[in-house]
Each structure stands twice: as structure tokens, then as C-alpha cells.
Structure 1
Amino acid sequence: WRPASAEEGFEIVRRRLFEPILDPAHFKDRDVVARAFADLYRIQHQEFPPECRDAEYEKRIKAAYPIHPEVFDRLYNDWSTLVKFQRTRGVLRLMAAVIHSLWEKGDRSPLILPANISIDDPRVQFELTRYLSDNWVPVIEKDVDGPSSLPLQLDRDVPNLGKFSACRRVARSIYMGSAPLGKAAHRGLEDRQVKLGCVMPGESPAVFGDALRRLAGAATYLYQDGPRYWYSTQPTVTKLAEDRAEQLKRDADKVVAELEKRLRKDLEQKGDFSRIHAMPESGQDVSDDRDARLVVLRTDYPYSKDPGNAAVAAAKAILQMRGNTPRLFQNALVFLAADKTRLQDLDEAARKYLAWQSILVESETLDLAPQQVKQAETQLAAADSAVTARIPETYQWLLAPVQATPQSAITWEAIRLAGQDALAVRASKKLRSDELLLTGFAASRLRMELDRVPLWRGDHVSVGQLAEDFARYVYLPRLKHSSILVSAVSEGVGLMTWEQDGFAYADSFDESAGRYRGLRRMEAVSLADADSPGLVVRPEVANRQLAAETAEPPGGGSGSPPGGGEGAPDVRLPEGTPEVGGKTPPPGPTPPAAKQQPKRFHGTVTLDSSRVGRDASRIADEVIAHLGGLVGAKVTVTLEISADIPAGVPDHVVRTVTENSRTLKFTSQGFEKE
């Protein structure tokens, strides 16, 4: 006597439980089903074990029909290792209960797979637990199958999974392949084996892969080691992680700190912005500069489509004020905000990550087994990936202030971001494509803006004033950097069509003489930066001066005599004196003595207290440098500070200012009470 082989067992069970197939139409039905499963395994071969794609496996499906070969493999290879489980009688008893349960429920599946075994049915559950030494009923009720089980709850919560009962089918498949081997050295099923026990023709294996990942991340008794999964009667550390993640709801600062750390790492790639202001506490933390910058709002200020949402309110406050001072350069800022709905998912992922991280840190204190440590490491890596993936999904709203005309009010344009780049890179790409941030500026467009608004201050405007205008007024194009404006000015002066598409350039304007010094057009102009002294001049005004200078007679003050070369002396003869022949006229009156030049300079200027550094730098470059460069010049600069504080100065400010004044070697300083 010898026990029946697996193939013989297939035939015995099939004959005992099903009538033989005699009708040719039934043979055809069997062959169609077998071919559909075989085609699925061949087409989606990367999702299933390699042996399934062979023609031999199709023959096995026909031989075991209407039971899937995977059911017999699990019963004869795994369950038969149990001491009390009889290979033929045990399989027969179990399958009889399974088939009766499916018949009562009216199940119309083409084959009976491990995923079709109704483990929640008391008769089936009895057959699946009577041979196991440990108490598996609580495990089944919580994590495998039953009215209050986790898989059923997940299927209800996720419609895409619930449509196929994917989590429930995955859990049944894992249980059938892992419960009898709980103490084996090489436990569990690979993910491909799990899918083999679940997926039917017409269904997507990816859906069941998603269900498997969700179960592994939430189940109390489901273990994972790489691609292998199994149930155990010993709880995993998942429950501990869930409890710790729940506790972190009361420690929001820790979660926010983790998210801010990750955001700052992502924002190291600045895109086209000169600077990123990450999670400022208030407008005081956002500097008031001319170059384009991105302000990433804190998670306290998410965006939603509700009017008056927190993100727009926070962006407005920062745009309008820097602390207690009105913000000047409003056109330099755009904002990035989190989506209110997605923020909940990001918060959950961050709490899970911190929970698993704390468990690993305390692994020795918690006395975790090596397998539990490995599980914690796997779950930590998964949680880390989830947080990384959800940050760009959450921070997807770009808020840009827009203004059509100088007279209209500022409105906010909310732009949804997409793509795989870093946050700032995605934001700058979208702004560029929507022309809300310019990285290049044509001279013709600068001329258009000069005339449209207009930006002229009379017949000209300084380059520095233009740079300030473009950074300040939201109705103008937003420039990446003031150097773009400088390039546009240089290009506009050098155009052959400067009168129509460009402008002229002058070093300065002499108000007493009513003329421009260093007036140029159709030639290259080199400017160091936007703070360089220089004027953009209206073409018609430049043409008038150039025409007047060209038409000035040779005897005029600044012309040269006809035929004279550059630098020729300007000789003036009294009126009526002949140019050729005649006697030399008598000498005229003695020329006046040379004009005495000034020997001293003094000047007083009031600086904007919020921009002292910038203004002082300009004064040093444009005034002090010219005076100090003269031979023998002695230049003294004295800075006088006067501050009136009606509410009084706090003690800590008095101490700070007094100490800093001493350090900076003030000759005199002090506070007064009256």
C-alpha cells in the first residue's frame, strides 16, 4: 500500500465530488476556461510563477477542472505536512465543505481558486483549523475573512479593490499557503504565487498587487520578508506602529518638523528662483528683494477651492506686508501651498514613518525578534517611500498674484502642478509656460511695456527705476532676475530699429543745459547691473537732441570747424572779420581769469530705515567714490540715527542696541526718557 499521489488525489476528489463530463458542450466549456487561464499566464507572465506559462500547466487545469491546480498544490504540498491531515480523506472533507458553501452562495467563478475558499464559513473554517496546533480563529476573524475582518474593511474603503473583493481574496490565498507551515524555516508565499491563487481572466494583477501592499501595511498577523508573505498566530509589530502613529496626532509639531525637513531637502533644487523661502512663520521672514522668489507655505495654510481659504489668506498677508512694513517688491513673489485633502494622506504617511522609526530605534528595549526587526525595516522603507511620493502630490498648488491693469485689483491664480521634478523646478517650469515668470526679456517687449503703462518719467527713465518697477508692480511681467532687464536695455539700444522697437541710452541728464550726456543709439551698451547709473531715453527725444547737435553751425560752442578733425581748436573771430586776406584785427579784450573750482562738498540725505544697506551702498558707489578718488581728497562720512518710539523701548532692545553700538565704536549714543 502507498498513499495516492497528488495527481491521483486530484482525480479521486474530482470523481467523488463532481459527476463525470459526458456532454461535448461541457468539454468545450472546460477547454475554453483552461485556454483563458493559460493565455492570462502567458500574456502576464511576469506576474505569475514561471511554470504557469508552459503548455503542461494548461493540461493540469483541464485535469483538475473545475478546481484550480493551485488548490491541490497547496493542500497536497503544504497541508499534507500536518500530522493529522489525511491527503485524500482530509482533502475530500475540506473540498466538500468548500463546494457546498460556494453552491449555496451561487458562486459562478469559472474555477475554484484558493481565493474562492470561503474561510468565513463555519464548516470550511472548522476543516481549516482542526488540524492546526495553534489557535487560528482570532487571526482569521481579524486579518483573513469575516464580517469584521481587515480585508473586508479595506475592500469597502477602496472601491477599486472592493469591485473584485481583492483584499479578501488575497488574504484567503495567503492563508491557504502559509497557515500549515507556520514553523517552517522557509515560510510564506511569493507575491506571484499569491496572485496565481487570486487572479482570473479579465482581471488586472496590479489590483491584487495593490491589495497585497495595503494588507501588508495594516494587518496585525501578516508578515512580509521581501516578496514573501505569511500569516502567523503571533502579532507583528504593526499594531504597535498603529498605536504610535495614532499617538502622534497629539504631537503635531513632531510631524510638521519631519515634513519641513523633507521639504527643505526637496527645495535645495531652486529651479529658476533666486531663493526659496521655506515655511516662513510670517511675512517678516520673507525678505523684500527684487529677484523672483518662491514662498512655500506651512502645512497650517492648505489650499482648497473654498473662498477665503487659508493658503490665499496667508499669501495675501505676506505679499502686502513684511512685518509692520508694507512690502515694496510684490511682483517678486509666488507661493506654493499644500492641497487640503491630500495633506491628510501626507500627515498619515509621515506619522507611520515616525512610528516605525521609533520602533526600530527601541528594538532592543522592545525585545523584538529578528523577524520583527526585519518587518519593521521593511515597513519603514515603505513608509519612507510613501512620504516621499506624497509630498509632490500634496504640494501641488501654485498661487500667483495677477493684475491686468494698474487700476484693477490684485487677484490670485491657482495653478495645479504636475510632473516628476523637484517642487521648485516644477513650479518654475509651469510659470514659464504660462508666462508668469520670464527668464528672457526682449527689448521690443520692454519698449511695449514702457509705452503701455507708461513707465516713462517724462522723456526718460533710469535703469534702476525700471528694475524697481518690474519687481514692484504686479501688472508688469515678473522677471527672474534684474539682469534680464539689463540685457533687454542693452539689446534695445543696439537695435537697428531702435526708434520703433527700442530706445536710446544716456549716462545722465544735464538739467541746466537741458541735454543728455553720453547719448547713444545703435551701439552696444555695457551695464554692470540694474543699479548702474544710466537712463533709457525716448527715441523721439533722442532724435531731437541728435538732430540739433548735428545741425549746430561750426561756430557753435560744441562743434568743430568745417574740415577740422576731431579735437581741432575752436577759433572764434569777431563778427565781420574776413576769413581770407585783410589785415589782422587788433587783439580783443583780455580773456577772463580761469573759473575757480569748488573745494568742499557737503550733503545730507534721509534713508529708508527698511533699506538702509541698499541705499548706503548706492551712495557709496555714486557719490563717495567720486569724491574719494580725487587727489588729496579727505572724505568724512557721519551716520546719524534718530528714532522716536512712542510706546517705549523694551529693556532687551535697549541692552542689544547699546551693546551693539559700543561694539561698532559709536562716538556717542544713548536713549532718552523724554
Structure 2
Amino acid sequence: MTLLYERLGRVEKSYTPVEEEEISSIIRKRLFSKIDEEDAKKTVAELIEYFKEEDILPQGIEPSEYRQEFLESYPFLPDVIDCLYHRWGSFPTFQRTRGVLRLLSLILYNLKDQNLNYISLADINLKDPEIRRELLNHIGNEFDSVISADITDKNSGSKQTDNSLGAAYKGLQLGTRSAITIFMYSFSGGVEKGASINEIKRSASFGSVPSSIVSETLETLKDKLFYIQHHTGKIVFANQPNLNRILLNKIESIDDKEASNTEKEYLQQHTKQGKLRTYIWINQSNDVSDDSELKLIILNEQSKSFVSEIVENRGASKRINRNTLFFLAPIESKRREITLSIKRKMAFEQIILDAYHNLTEDQKKEVKSSVKREEENGRSKIREVYRNVYVPMKNKVDEIDLGVPTYGYDTNLSDEVFEKLKSEGTIIARLVPLVLRERYLKGRKHVLTKQIYENSVKTLGEDRITNISILEDCIRDGVKQGLYGLGELKDGKEIPIYWKKEPSVGFGDNEILIDSLICEKELEIKQERLETVQEEVITETVVDKSSKKRVISTIDTPMIKIPKGKVSQILGLLNYLQTKFNKLEIKIVAEDGSVTEDEYDNKIKEALRQLGIKID
């Protein structure tokens, strides 16, 4: 403004009535003793060119015509004179020319120390007490609080918008400048009130930045200001609170616990019927079962100590299946975003219940769409916030970041964690027989199959398989390939039963994988013995006409009592019979001992079920 004063000279203070068409020239004569016409032409030309490039010149007026108006009103943008003279001047108390001159002299005095090339409505300082009082004299003191709440206070919506813009625009105060422009256009003694987007752009923008930034600024102001309204394509300030103010009051009345309950519901919906058994916001280690199923524990907050407590204990007892646990924790810095979105949704729902009849039709539509929008927003933020996966290892806890979700994310959160852990090699969906042999039989003669499985669920850092059938398939494939044999351990001796053929895997207490060299030697001897087994049988004979040899087509033995410790030999016999007959039936009668109901269901019936055998 210092530069402007050098160009304009001193400020006059005498006023006399003028005709409307002379207002611009009279203002210059009354307020300034001289104008640097060359500087004026340069500034006007540059600004008109910017307005043309941005397509924000007033409608229905040629650039040359607007240029002439600007030269006559310089250093004021023509919009300043037009707004003050025609809108504010329509108030009976304003006295048109005299009121314009009085107000402009206050504005000039306030800006005298600023280095401005021209003056727009956005340059009017509403914090200045004299300027503010002059305006309030015509519109009423009730707007004093409106100015403070939405424009001048340090926590106002305008200042929040200024600070929310990118680094390149943060210092330009486009939020405050846009709000001031809207405010000045909002009042008239007639019917015309409010500012169009182009009117706001002409006053609030600078030639050095794209005017589209003002459009983005207005979108932010729409959510931040409490007293702006939208009517027929224009934005206007009113002394009645808008939906933002009503919404904020509702939000402030919603308890954090209510929002937390909704957040938990969102989590339940995001993990329903997922690939990992999921526990949400548990309070104690006893809430998590101790079994072989893989589990995902979603934490209410990041707490490594709570993770350790769950991994090590189940209530007062030590946890056995420690390698079945994964944890998902929120990013604390973004947690508030979920809460705010949920509260906004709940607030809009309360507005529908409490104040719907007082809303305009446009506001009713906005409220309904906002409920849906905020619910979708809250659900999407669940994935943005809950993304830190903790994987307990032997002496540490590994952290895996799920990353930022893609646009339109709609995946089960439990499934995504599962797939991420699978891609990282933490969860194993398929075991390779050669790897199993190298890991468990290298330098050993045998390993218990039950021990391999128990290691996977009990020992931290071991391969975590999705279920026992993964290991069963791996054992079966390795046996058929001859990488190792399957048998049992008796009196410290390896007894092979299956090698290079389809095995029956049961994970019994004595069932073992056996080094292939032992199998090759032992099974050759055993095969010779099996061929000499004599049993009392009832046979039905037929004659093979092609070979003229007598063959046995049906074998039906009486009930056989199996000597203790001879099960493996019988299994070998049954396997031999299965190679000769398509149908083979056995009846199991176990006496003189007992198993629990759980053992019967989980070990006997489940083993038969996995074999595809139905029990009538």
C-alpha cells in the first residue's frame, strides 16, 4: 500500500453529493490528489489479461469496457465501487456517495502501510474496529459474532481454511479473502444478495496463482463456516447458523463411547466370516482361545506389552499354542478421523430426528446424502487406520504395514491380513516335501509327525500352516516320492510302513517320518515277512479261465484281536489287500481302556472325516 500511496498522493476528506455515473471519477478526485496513469495502465492491463485467461470477467461485458471501468476506478477494482455503491448504498442509512467515500477512506487508511498494486473487496480488513463498526451500523450488531466466528478469530473457519491449503498457497490467506468477499456481497437494501464464484475469484485471487485454487478454497469453506448459505448459485452470509453449526452442536453432544461402539460394529462387519478367527478389542488374555486355529486379534490401541501378555498367557495359565496369533493395531495419529466421521454420521441422523422439519428442501437433501457419505467414509477409514500387523517371533515382534488402501476398497479386513501374511511367507498354504525333509530329517533318522505339527502351533517363528491338512498333504506327497517314509516308533526302533506309496497319516503319538535309507532297507525285509503271514479264512474260489489258476475273490475273516504293538503290521496287511481288492471293510472294536469325548470327536471321528469315511 506504500507503493500505492506513492502513486496516488494524499488522501482528501471533503465530500459532496454526486451523480451515479460519476461515482468512480468523483471518488478518485475526492480521495486522491494525483494518479500515476502509466502505472495504472500497466496494472490494469496485467489484471485484465489474467481475468481473460482465467475466464472470470463479468458476464455481458467486453474486456475493453471492463478495462475502461477499472482505469476510472483505479486503484479500486470496479467490483469494489459497484458493491459499495449499489448494494450497501441501497441501505437508507448508508447515504450512497457519502457512505462510500467514508468507508473507502477508512479502508485506505487501514491499508496505507501495505504494498498493494490495487484494492479489491478481499482487502477490506474486518478486524479494524472502525471499518467493522461502520458496516455493523447498517446490518445490525448481530453480525458482529458472525464476523468473529467465521472470518476474523484465529480459530475461525476462514483461518482453518488458510492453514489447510498447500504450502504454495498457505500464506495467501485465500480462505479469509474469499470469506470477506462473500461477506461484502451479502448485504443490500434490495433483493440482490450473495456472491457468485466468479465474483469471489476476481476479488480473492492473485495474478500469480490459478483462480481454480479459489474454487477448492470455497469447497473447504463450505464445511468450515457456520453462517454461509447457498441460494440460487450464490453464496451469502446470514445471521442464522447453517448445517455446519447445527452439526457441530450435535457432534459435541455425542459421547466418545457411542462412537466407539459404532467403530467396533464397522470392524465386525469388515472381518465377518474372514479367513482368520477374529477377536476385536479384547480386554484380557483369557478372552482369546488357546487352540491350533490361526487367530487375528484387533487391538483398540497400540500396546506391545498387551501383545506379549496375550502371547505368553491365557488368564492364569501359560498359553500353549502361541504361534497361532497375529495382531492388528490402529495408527494412533489417524484414529481421530474415524471417530469424527462416525460422529458426523450420528449427528446427521440426529438432525433428521430432531430438526428435519425446520430445514429447507436443499438442506434436507444434503442431510440425507451426508448420512450415507459419512457412513461410507467411516467404513473406508477403518482400513486406512487399522493397518499395522504384529507378528510374534521368538525374541521379537515383527511389524508389517498393510499400506494405503486402493480407491474403492471393499475387502474383508481379516482376509486382507491373511493374504498379506501369506505373500510375506508368514502363513504357509502349501508345504514342499523336500523342505520338510531338510528341516526335520537332516542328520536324523526319524521325527514324530505330531511333533512337527505341534511345533507349527506352539513354537514362535515356526512355519504357520493354515490347517493340519497342509502338513498331511506334504507328508503324503513326500512319502509317495520316496523322500522319506512313514511308520511308527517302537521300543526306540523305526518301523517303516509306507514308502513310495500312498500312506495313511494320523499324527498318532508314535507316528514318525523316517529317513529314506532306513525305509529302503527295512521294507524289503518286511515285505518278505508279509508274504508268509498265515490267517484262518473262509474263502470263495473261482477259476481264472485265462490262466487256469485258482484265485480267491472274497476274503471274510472272523473277528480278529490285534495283539498290542502289532497295529503297524496289520496296517501293512490292509494296504496289501487294498492293492488286490476294490472294496475293503473293517470293523473297529476297542475295549479295556477309554478316551474322552473330545478325543473321540477331535482325533478319531475327525481323522475318519478327513479320510472321507462316514460313520453311520
Give TM-score scaled by structure 1 length: 0.65
Q: 1:346 aligns with which of 324, 327, 338?
A: 338
- Give secondary structure in 1 for the equivalent of 2:561: coil
Q: Which aligned segments of 4 or more residues in structure 1 are displaced greater than 6 angstroms? A: 48-58, 156-159, 181-184, 204-207, 529-536, 623-626
CA separation in 2, counterparts of 1:615 and 1:339?
A: 45
Q: 2:603 aligns with which of 618, 625, 629?
A: 618
Query: Alpha-carbon deviation of 1:257?
Result: 0.8
Taking the TM superposition and a 5 Å limit, the aligned residue runs for 1:371-382 are: 373=364, 376-377=367-368, 380=371
CA separation in 1, counterparts of 2:57 and 2:269?
A: 40
Indicate how the Cα distance of structure 1 residues 623 and 136 shifts in structure 2: closer, same or farther if over 3 A, else same: closer
2:306 alignment partner in structure 1: 314
Kept after mapping to 2: 8 A contact 1:510/1:517: no
Kept after mapping to 1: 8 A contact 2:393/2:460: yes
CA separation in 2, counterparts of 1:419 and 1:77?
A: 53
Indicate how the Cα distance of structure 1 residues 518 and 429 shifts in structure 2: closer, same or farther if over 3 A, else same: closer
2:14 alignment partner in structure 1: none
Whether 1:22 and 2:29 are equivalent positions in the alignment is no
Q: 2:560 aligns with which of 597, 604, 607?
A: 597
Indicate how the Cα distance of structure 1 residues 536 and 67 shifts in structure 2: closer, same or farther if over 3 A, else same: farther
Calculate the aligned-residue CA RMSD, in Å: 4.9
Whether 1:509 and 2:488 are equivalent positions in the alignment is yes
Whether 1:163 and 2:171 are equivalent positions in the alignment is yes
Kept after mapping to 1: 8 A contact 2:506/2:607: no
- Structure 2: which amino acid aligns with 1:295? I
- Structure 1: which amino acid aligns with 2:446? D
- Structure 2: which amino acid aligns with 1:601? A
Indicate how the Cα distance of structure 1 residues 624 and 143 shifts in structure 2: closer, same or farther if over 3 A, else same: closer
CA separation in 2, counterparts of 1:225 and 1:389?
A: 32
Q: 2:149 aligns with which of 139, 142, 149?
A: 142
Query: Alpha-carbon deviation of 1:170?
Result: 2.9
CA separation in 1, counterparts of 2:61 and 2:297?
A: 55
CA deviations over 1:619-652 (Å, ceiling 9, x no partner):
23559999x999xxxx9xxxxxxxxxxxxxxxxx
2:574 alignment partner in structure 1: none
- Structure 2: which amino acid aligns with 1:399? Y
Query: Alpha-carbon deviation of 1:331?
Result: 2.1
2:529 alignment partner in structure 1: 557
1:177 alignment partner in structure 2: 185
**Unaligned stretches of 5+ residues in structure 1:** 43-47, 304-310, 404-408, 561-593, 636-674
- Give secondary structure in 2 for the equivalent of 1:398: strand
- Structure 2: which amino acid aligns with 1:470? S
Indicate how the Cα distance of structure 1 residues 531 and 134 shifts in structure 2: closer, same or farther if over 3 A, else same: farther
CA separation in 1, counterparts of 2:66 and 2:599?
A: 81
- Structure 2: which amino acid aligns with 1:400? V
Kept after mapping to 1: 8 A contact 2:402/2:420: no
- Structure 2: which amino acid aligns with 1:262? Y
1:114 alignment partner in structure 2: 121
CA separation in 2, counterparts of 1:326 and 1:520?
A: 41
1:413 alignment partner in structure 2: 399
CA separation in 2, counterparts of 1:535 and 1:127?
A: 96
Whether 1:277 and 2:279 are equivalent positions in the alignment is yes
**Unaligned stretches of 5+ residues in structure 2:** 1-17, 533-556, 563-588
1:658 alignment partner in structure 2: none
CA separation in 2, counterparts of 1:235 and 1:596?
A: 91
2:513 alignment partner in structure 1: 537
Query: Alpha-carbon deviation of 1:163?
Result: 3.1
2:107 alignment partner in structure 1: 98
- Structure 2: which amino acid aligns with 1:200? F
Indicate how the Cα distance of structure 1 residues 136 and 208 shifts in structure 2: closer, same or farther if over 3 A, else same: same
CA separation in 1, counterparts of 2:396 and 2:144?
A: 65
Kept after mapping to 1: 8 A contact 2:402/2:417: no
Kept after mapping to 1: 8 A contact 2:294/2:325: yes
Identity rate of aligned residues, in percent?
A: 19
Indicate how the Cα distance of structure 1 residues 31 and 344 shifts in structure 2: closer, same or farther if over 3 A, else same: same
CA separation in 1, counterparts of 2:286 and 2:130?
A: 70
- Structure 1: which amino acid aligns with 2:518? R
Indicate how the Cα distance of structure 1 residues 78 and 246 shifts in structure 2: closer, same or farther if over 3 A, else same: same
- Structure 1: which amino acid aligns with 2:448? V
Whether 1:266 and 2:270 are equivalent positions in the alignment is yes
Query: Alpha-carbon deviation of 1:617?
Result: 2.8
- Give secondary structure in 2 for the equivalent of 1:356: helix
1:396 alignment partner in structure 2: 387
Taking the TM superposition and a 5 Å limit, the aligned residue runs for 1:47-62 are: 59=67
1:471 alignment partner in structure 2: 457
- Structure 2: which amino acid aligns with 1:31? A
CA separation in 2, counterparts of 1:60 and 1:431?
A: 70
Q: 1:246 aligns with which of 244, 252, 260?
A: 252
CA separation in 2, counterparts of 1:469 and 1:124?
A: 80
- Structure 2: which amino acid aligns with 1:294? L
**Count of equivalent residues:** 540
- Would you tell me which structure has more strand in proportion to its own residues? 2
CA separation in 2, counterparts of 1:266 and 1:226?
A: 41
Whether 1:221 and 2:227 are equivalent positions in the alignment is yes
CA separation in 2, counterparts of 1:62 and 1:155?
A: 29
